[in-house]
């Protein structure tokens, strides 16, 4: 094991700052509040919801859970979003994804007020993020990767970053955030040729593909920084990342664990975004 990049110290440092910020807002009569819109009862969503409720209660942020049935209609989801958009006491809106197939996700992404879009799902925030505008709300997981670098003082300028995965939730926004920090970024995906060669070229390898232990030691250059965003359950029911942690941690300069890495920072980023929205909206 070289250097372990754990998420908890990052989340703790952020919480210290965020507690002060919520206290200041309360003095100004502003009580930050997040609305979670959850459709159905997927175990992943319920476990993320529990983690959010715990983090927000520690930080003095109110949470309203709008739990909708699995077979909810498009109109009903949009009506609930309109209510949250118009409610002056609600500062942030988070819609759990993926949504059931009968719902039109593109329309739902457009239905969230961009000023309350704390998980960066609206086209307006995506556009700002791709322009490199720091005011954009980035998806929380993508932002959590950057928070890890900031906390552990990992240099990004001019470094070769390879991002595995090109989803709009993780891969692409991470790539844009790191590009905005002057990294030289390559995005790889399931059609990339010679993937192992591309990975070995990386000073920093960010893995977000959703394949248990897919990235093996022969794909990683010695002394690379490895950020594992993946959350997978392997054949034996164990929670693991996209990286073969045991083998890769022997040669990488530093590596994030799963669990306890990037995932542990995501709820703190969400809190940060709700506080930012509350400050802006008032």
Q: Is 263 in the site for ligand NAP (CB under 6 A)?
A: yes
Report d(CA 16, CA 188) in Å as an integer: 36
Of residues 25 and 112, the one with the C-beta less far from ligand NAP: 112
Of the candidates 275, 281, 265, 264, the one whose C-alpha atom is nearest the C-alpha of residue 61 is 275
Of residues 229 and 274, the one with the C-beta less far from ligand NAP: 229
Q: Is 42 in the site for ligand NAP (CB under 6 A)?
A: no
Question: What minimum distance in Å lies between the beta carbon of 187 and ligand NAP?
Answer: 9
Of residues 74 and 192, the one with the C-beta less far from ligand NAP: 192
Q: Which stretch binds ligand NAP (CB under 6 A): 33-41, 106-114, 159-167, 269-277?
A: 159-167
Report d(CA 233, CA 231) in Å as an integer: 7
Q: Is 273 in the site for ligand NAP (CB under 6 A)?
A: no
Measure Cα distances from 156 to 6, 153, 194, 218, 271 in Å: 19, 9, 24, 23, 25
- Consecutive H or E run containing 254: strand 254-255
Question: What minimum distance in Å lies between the beta carbon of 234 and ligand NAP?
Answer: 12
Residues 111-150: x where in contact with ligand NAP by CB under 6 A, - otherwise, as a string: ------------------------------x---------
Q: Is 262 in the site for ligand NAP (CB under 6 A)?
A: yes
Question: What minimum distance in Å lies between the beta carbon of 103 and ligand NAP?
Answer: 16
Of residues 93 and 231, the one with the C-beta less far from ligand NAP: 231
Of residues 178 and 229, the one with the C-beta less far from ligand NAP: 229
Of residues 258 and 275, the one with the C-beta less far from ligand NAP: 258
Q: Is 169 in the site for ligand NAP (CB under 6 A)?
A: yes
Helix (H, G, I), strand (E, B) or coil at 10: helix
**How many degrees, rounded to 5, is the angle at CA 208 between CA 207 and CA 213?**
65
Contact 10, 147 (CB under 8 A): yes
CA dihedral 96, 97, 103, 106 (to 10 degrees): 110
Residue that is written with structure tokens 């754990």 in the block: 6
Helices of type H across the chain: 8-27, 43-59, 74-86, 105-111, 123-131, 140-151, 171-180, 195-200, 245-248, 263-281
Of residues 25 and 137, the one with the C-beta less far from ligand NAP: 137
Q: Is 229 in the site for ligand NAP (CB under 6 A)?
A: yes
Cα 237–chain centre separation = 23
- Total residues at interface with ligand NAP (CB under 6 A): 26
CA atoms within 13 A on the CB side of 56: 23
Q: Is 167 in the site for ligand NAP (CB under 6 A)?
A: yes
Q: Is 50 in the site for ligand NAP (CB under 6 A)?
A: no
What are the residues binding ligand NAP (CB under 6 A)?
141, 164-167, 169-171, 188-192, 195, 208-211, 214, 229-232, 262-263, 266
């Amino acid at each position: 094991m070289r250097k372990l990049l754990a998420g908890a110290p990052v989340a703790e440092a952020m919480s210290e700052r965020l507690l002060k910020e919520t206290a200041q807002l309360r003095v100004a009569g502003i009580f930050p509040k997040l609305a979670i819109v959850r459709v159905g009862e997927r175990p992943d969503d319920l476990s993320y919801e529990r983690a959010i409720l715990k983090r927000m209660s520690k930080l003095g942020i109110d949470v309203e859970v709008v739990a909708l049935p699995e077979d909810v209609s498009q109109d009903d989801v949009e009506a609930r979003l309109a209510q949250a958009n118009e409610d002056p006491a609600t500062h942030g809106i988070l819609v759990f994804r993926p949504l059931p197939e009968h719902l039109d996700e593109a329309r739902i992404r457009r239905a969230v007020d961009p000023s309350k879009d704390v998980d960066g799902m609206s086209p307006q925030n995506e556009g700002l993020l791709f322009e490199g505008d720091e005011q954009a709300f980035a998806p929380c997981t993508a932002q959590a990767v950057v928070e890890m670098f900031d906390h552990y003082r990992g240099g990004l300028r001019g470094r070769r970053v390879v991002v595995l995965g090109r989803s709009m939730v993780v891969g692409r926004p991470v790539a844009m955030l790191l590009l905005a920090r002057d990294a030289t970024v390559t995005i790889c995906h399931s059609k990339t040729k010679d993937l192992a060669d591309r990975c070995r070229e990386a000073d920093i390898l960010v893995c977000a593909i959703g394949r248990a232990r897919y990235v093996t030691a022969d794909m990683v250059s010695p002394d690379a920084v490895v950020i594992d965003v993946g959350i997978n359950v392997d054949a034996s029911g164990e929670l693991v990342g996209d990286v073969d942690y045991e083998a890769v941690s022997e040669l990488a300069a530093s590596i994030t664990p799963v669990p306890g890495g990037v995932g542990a920072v995501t709820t703190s980023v969400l809190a940060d975004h709700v506080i930012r929205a509350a400050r802006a909206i008032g």
